[in-house]
Amino acid sequence: MSKTKNNYYAAWLIIVLAVFSAADSYGQNTHVMISGIRSEKGQIILNVFKDDESYNKEKVFKKLVFEKKAITSGLMVIACDLAPGTYGITLIDDENKDAELNKSFIGIPKEGFGFSNFFMEKMKKPAFDDFKIVVKSQDNKISIKVKYM
């Protein structure tokens, strides 16, 4: 083989290995188990925040939208990809598909909402540290229980 072909194959091998190693760094097995969904209408929106500052400013890092096709007795499991790191996930049960959490004229949510591995029992917005999670490279299980007011 010529030196040019060897260089070509070496470069190709490096690219293939880089692609596979990059794919391994993502949480291919991140599963979000959502419970307490009251209807099959609409969609589920997951807003992923990277830190306290982005959460407080409502600057979403990643927005994931899922149709409610796989609901069984108020339960739904969603598979998604997140790079390893620390996140906070909020949920909106967007029953009317307008991509926002609808509220009454006094600010009470009309649609369901939730937080990663945290169930809101008080009427106070939780801090990022209350619902932050650590995503590893694989086998991540996150629970969100939907709350309706």
Tell me which residue has tokens 């419970």. Answer: 35
In contact, 88 and 116? CB cutoff 8 Å = yes
Confidence category of residue 52, pLDDT binned at 50, 70, 90 = very high
Considering only 56-65, 83-92, 115-124, 133-142, which range has the smallest mean pLDDT? 115-124
**Residue-range domain boundaries for the chain:** 26-145
Q: What is the DSSP letter of 147?
A: B
CA distance 137 to 51: 19
Q: Tell me which residue of 105, 128, 107 sits closest to 118, measured CA to CA.
A: 128
pTM for this entry: 0.79
Mean pLDDT in residue range 119-131: 89
Mark residue 74 as left, alpha or beta (left: phi above 0; alpha: psi -120 to 50; beta: remaining): left
Would you state the pLDDT for residue 2?
A: 57
Tell me which residue has tokens 């990809």. Answer: 81
Q: 3-class SS at 114?
A: strand
pLDDT tens-digit readout, 28-41: 579 999 999 999 99
Burial of 92 (0-12, 13-18, 19+ CB in 10 A): buried
| Six-digit token string for 128 | 């990022």
Going from the C-alpha of 31 to that of each of 48, 50, 76, 138, the distances in angstroms are 14, 18, 10, 10
pLDDT at 8 over 60: no
